[in-house]
Amino acid sequence: MSPQKTFLLIIVFIVCLITCGLWLDCGLGSCNSVHSFIQATGIAHNDVFRPRVKPVLYDPSVGDTGVVCPVGKGTGPVSHLTDAIQPSPPSNVRWATVENLTSAKYSDNKICNAKKVYFLHDQLELLIQARDGRRRLKQYGGDYFRAKIFTKNSTFSASSATDGEVIDLGDGTYRALFTLKWPGKVNVKVTLVHPSEAVDAIRRFRDAAPARFVYRGKFVSADGTHKEETFCNIVLSGNPPDLCNFTDKATGSPWFCYKPKSPKLKCSDWREHRCDSGAANRSDASLLSSHDKLTLIPKSDLPTRIQVEVRGTIRNSSEQKSASDNATTEVINLPICTNGCNIGNLLTSGYYFRDIWYNPSCRILNFPLDEMRNCVSGKKLYFLGDSTIRQLFEFYLVRLGPGLKKTQSGPEPRWHVGPTRALDQVFNISMMFRFHAYPIGRNSWATVKDIHYIANEVDSIVGDENSVVVISLWSHFTHEPEWFFVQRMRTIMAAVARLRERSPSTLVVFKGANTREHNTANQRLYNSDWLARRMEYIIRREIAENLAFMDSWSMSSAQLIADNVHPGGSHVKNLSNQLLTFMCGRPT
């Protein structure tokens, strides 16, 4: 292992220690309603439950926090799809001071269907009341809340996000639904990702100009004596003679650069691409008022701590159910995840249980190293997209190394744009990673001839039962107009349809977006989870029904470690198990 890698590992370890420590502190402090705890025994987690689709009724009740639960408001759980098209927040919300912003500190939450004891597979209904910095009730919706349930102590952890998204009731109240999936003391955590005023600012900012980020193109004459940099983007002001039109012939994906001023340089001398986030910052400053900037506050958790007791035994479905076991409902064996049965738009969220991710609609198998190697042996894997899918590619390089070697084709690709290939001659494994083409939002130069659109790359794959194409793209599109991402997704889906027509046995797997850190105001503005969730919505809407899908969004939302654009912990390992289950879906 290189010194850099060792150093990185140590950093990751320290960050993990810090975040795990924080969680123990924040998660298991004093609680509002701790019922006596009944030890659940005999957990044999071979099975997962079936997703519930029935609508939920409200119990009318008023709790100690003063949150009033609505009666009969809303219907069943809302999936990512329907939630994402809700109209809130109201446009041009008028507010005066920071005290008008929704405050995590003063917002309340309470359980609406309060019971002494819950049983496995019961639904927990949470009501969130948004309040501002002076404890006043918010009168309008649009806040972006996320919520999860979890159990964590020194020997055990489990966690799950809401079933669907937190539902905006439009009047400053929000509803979150959870299916209880494991017995024990279950805690609730609600996070204010953005106050509605920030969502409004982010949305206006996104729509203010179609090309808000700054990209640069480098032109170099054939003999290397002339060089010039110009600006590039999906649209540029100016007329064709002043522009180089690099719109992709095959996909129609727009891309333009200003023509170099030097008469010695032609459009065809375009050699390198990079983004210039510093310049983007300066040019964008004018689009966002200092008033708007006040909204870009960090994600923060509501202080209210809720804990419920859940009874039941997670049983192996093959065991006989005893009469006293009514608490355990519908524990069934799910079919193994195959191409098509793991589509993301489910009403019940998956969950982590002892670090293993369970999908609610199908069974994911575990692949120890030998099984992993057997599974990918003889296969050709194409990882296409952004760094969140490169994470999986790199996971295999480490896990299957040193037999699986990176092969150098030409100069070392800059900062992992690819194409990066890896080959294992003994086990006959071939893998490659390639970035998704423009926009590429990194500040280092990348070689233009190495940058291929995913649709074109997919069109170049012959395909057979040994070919696997894994695609994920979203994070470099959050600061672009939505039409641009929709168009990109459609060109990819069309290429995937052509591939599956010429080779029905080729496996194509999509991975969705994931939550990320919001460390800086820039990240909140350009790469916010609210924007990423819009990308997720488009992905789920555009991918064909019968494609395999890996639900990174629910996985990262459920995780008990800090949000990260490259999720830590067991995220990637469990993605790998999903991919390998699609590839080699037989019990091990």
Q: Which positions touch ligand NAG (CB under 6 A)? A: 44, 46, 95-97, 99-100, 134, 151, 153-156, 184, 240, 245, 247, 249, 277-278, 281, 285, 316, 318, 323-324, 326, 355-357, 364, 366, 378-380, 428, 466, 522, 570, 573-574, 577
Closer to ligand NAG by Cβ: residue 19 or 522: 522
- CB of residue 176 to ligand NAG, shortest distance in Å: 22
Mode of pairing for the β-strands spanning 167-168 and 144-152 = unpaired
What whole-number distance in Å separates Cα of residue 512 and Cα of residue 84?
15
Question: Residue 42: what residue type?
Answer: G
Question: Residue 195: what residue type?
Answer: P
320's CB contacts (< 8 A; 6+ apart) are none
Sheet hosting strand 548-550, strand order edge to edge:
405-407, 420-424, 429-435, 380-385, 467-472, 507-511, 548-550
What whole-number distance in Å separates Cα of residue 273 and Cα of residue 478?
19
Token pair 């233009």 is found at 448
CA 179-25-100 angle, to 5 degrees, is 75
Give whole-number Cα distances, 110 to 174, 181, 308, in Å. Answer: 11, 20, 11
- Cα torsion angle, 525, 526, 527, 528, sign: positive
- CB of residue 71 to ligand NAG, shortest distance in Å: 26
47 with 332: CB under 8 angstroms? Answer: yes
3-state secondary structure 336-356: ECCCCCCCCCCCCCCEEECCE
3-state secondary structure 490-524: HHHHHHHHHHHHHCCCCEEEEECCCCCCCCCHHHH
To the nearest 10°, report the CA torsion of 528, 356, 351, 435.
Answer: 30
Q: At what angle are helices 369-376 and 387-399 packed, to 10 degrees?
A: 110
45 with 314: CB under 8 angstroms? Answer: yes
Query: Which ranges of 28-97 would DSSP assign to H, the alpha helix?
Result: 80-84
384's CB contacts (< 8 A; 6+ apart) are 433, 434, 436, 454, 457, 458, 469, 470, 471, 473
362's CB contacts (< 8 A; 6+ apart) are 334, 335, 336, 337, 338, 341, 342
- CB of residue 326 to ligand NAG, shortest distance in Å: 4
- Cα torsion angle, 11, 13, 14, 20, sign: positive
